[in-house]
Amino acid sequence: MSLIPANLRYAKSHEWVRPAADGTALVGISDYAQAALGDITYVQLPKPGATLAAGAVFGVVESVKAASDLYAPVAGTVLEVNPALNSAPETVNSSPYETGWMLKLKLADPMSPATLLDATTYGKLLG
């Protein structure tokens, strides 16, 4: 059974968002996604300053099984990427919701995370 923290919002494409009160949010991939990918060997992320549209590809995650596109669950501007993933991409496998986060965004619309799936609905999507 995948871990699905209740304090996050989820996209159907298996990315999560953790909004903060200051209008920023962390973005990563779900426990389900990292488990399906297997051992992650490389993560390609955009540069800070990049503007992302909701649903647009923002990067790629490569594993021993496959390469998969990453989709922006919400629109925003990249403030920061997780520097740990350059040297230790497997952090996404061991801690997808904490130290394995991928992006910090300035949200284009601070209310946009509310349009994503809550933990219960995301759990139902996974079956």
Structural domain boundaries of the chain? 23-109
Q: How many residues does the chain have?
A: 127
The CA distance from 78 to 51, in Å, is 6
DSSP conformation letters of the chain: -----TTSEE-TTSEEEEE-TTSEEEEEE-HHHHHHH-SEEEEE-PPTT-EE-TTSEEEEEEESS-EEEEE-SS-EEEEEE-THHHH-TTHHHH-TTTTT--EEEEESSTTGGGGSB-HHHHHHHH-
**CATH number for the segment(s) 23-109:** 2.40.50.100
pLDDT at res. 2? 73
What pLDDT score does 1 carry? 55
**pLDDT, averaged across the chain:** 96
Which residues of the chain are modeled with pLDDT < 50?
A: none
| The two structure tokens encoding residue 118 | 């809550």
φ, ψ at 108 (rounded to 5°): -65, -35
State residue 28's pLDDT score: 98
Q: Look up the pTM and report it.
A: 0.95
